[in-house]
Amino acid sequence: MMKRIVYREWRIPPARFWGILGILASVIGIGTLSFGYMEHQGHWVTGMNNAVVWGLPHVFAVFLVIAASGALNIASIGTVFRKPIYKPLGRLSGLLAVALLMGGLLILVTDLGRPERLIVAITSYNFSSIFAWNIFLYTGFMAIVIAYLWTMADRQGGPFNRPVGILALFWRLALTTGTGSIFGFLVAREAYSAAILGPMFVILSFAYGLAVFLLVLMFAFAEEGRVIGPKILRRLKNLLALFVAGALYFMLIYHLTNLYAAKHDDFESWLLLHGGIYTFAFWVGSILIGGLLPLWILYHPEKGKNCNWVAAAAALVIVGGLSTMYVVIIGSQAYPMPLFPGQTILESGFGDGVGGRAASYWPSIPELLLGLGGVAVGLLITAVGVRVLQFLPESLADDVVPVDEETLGEAAFAKPA
């Protein structure tokens, strides 16, 4: 039994499409110039120093990497967990995952400097380092997702769709755990060295990836005149609310665990009360903007049914996600390292802060432009993929969605005779 399928043949006008590509290409060009400037002048033109060696570009890069893993969640739910209503969105989910990962990795390669020596990192491995493992996780994820997209787009790949989907599910969980473990394994930094950072990054990826996916989906459907029905909108926004609540829960457990250990009292007091910009970014950015406000919107009886309000909630989650990454990556580096526990260091130029105070860091414009360039790379790949390939369903209106699991994926992408 199938519901009536309605087709929508509206397409974004070519002038509008090329205008969007032009804007994204311009941002990428500016980001490239920023990379060239920092590569030629050296990192002294950035806000980074001996204490803060991972700056704002790493905030964008890590956010994009974990969002890439979370963006694939929709495809996994449709395939692995056999939820047919999500199957028409699987192709866009996979495309966005690959695009975001490529944008994030491009930022990492350019921000670390000497990108021509990337071949050394690819061919020489130190398997005692989590960084070496992540090279396999990132490249393997990209290859698996491309194969996953083939199984969704080609009839010949249909029999392999669920097995590849299961592999992609476990691989992306390993990828996100590995990314969080980069920080969790750094015992020298008091704010890191926490096993919970691995699973916490997994739930953060679910929230950030779905927020990015929702914004891209809504923008693409609005530009092409396609319909998102209340049923699928309700499911997506409830899923986002669940992931945001889970992210808040893990952040609560992380800080309660630190507060329970007496050696972390000074760090928690600094971050939660006396950390200046980092305290503000945590409470206002991560908790309020990225957590409580989106939950209020998504669970509001009226606003939660409105596409514009749901899009606003997704945007707030992304802003909160960037704030969270800023606190985790930069704030944790800025906190002084206890080189001599129990002793007071009056003055020091090493990575322990200055005189026991937090290290100063203020992002430079080239760092910001490099980060935005990576975001633009991901969006450009997505825009071209959506335009050239058939990665958007014709409609997600309630009267279009078939109830038969086997025919749903094909019917949503079908074209009228």
pLDDT tens digits, 127-180: 777 777 888 899 999 999 999 999 998 888 889 999 999 999 999 999 999 999
Structural domain containing residue 214: 7-337+360-402
pLDDT at 274: 87
What does the DSSP assignment read for 285-299? IIIIIIIIHHHHHHH
Per residue in 190-244, pLDDT (tens digit) is: 778 788 999 999 999 999 999 999 999 999 888 877 778 889 999 999 999 999 9
pLDDT of residue 156: 87
Q: How confident is the model at residue 410, as a pLDDT?
A: 47
Average pLDDT score over residue span 317-343: 87
- What pLDDT score does 75 carry? 94
In a domain, 407, yes or no: no
Q: Give residue 344's pLDDT band: very low, low, confident or very high (50, 70, 90).
A: low
Separation between Cα atoms, residue 148 and residue 157, nearest integer Å: 9
> Is 1 within a domain?
no
With respect to residue 229, please indicate whether it lies within any of the assigned structural domains: yes
Please report, for residues 64, 79, 343, 357, the alpha-carbon distance to residue 60 in angstroms, rounded to integers and kept in the order given.
Answer: 6, 29, 36, 26
CATH number, domain of 377, equals: 1.20.1630.10
Question: What confidence tier does 282 reach under pLDDT thresholds 50, 70, 90?
Answer: very high
Assess if residue 51 is contained within a domain.
Answer: yes
Domain count, the chain: 1
Structural domain contains residue 232: yes
| 280 confidence band (pLDDT: 50, 70, 90) | very high
What is the pTM assigned to this prediction?
0.90
Nearest to 84 by CA among 93, 75, 94, 92: 75
Query: Residues 113, 116, 122, 128: is their CA dihedral positive or negative?
Result: negative
CA-to-CA distance for 276 and 270, rounded, in angstroms?
9
In a domain, 179, yes or no: yes
pLDDT of residue 217: 94
Decide: residue 302, CB within 10 A, 0-12 exposed, 13-18 middle, 19+ buried: exposed
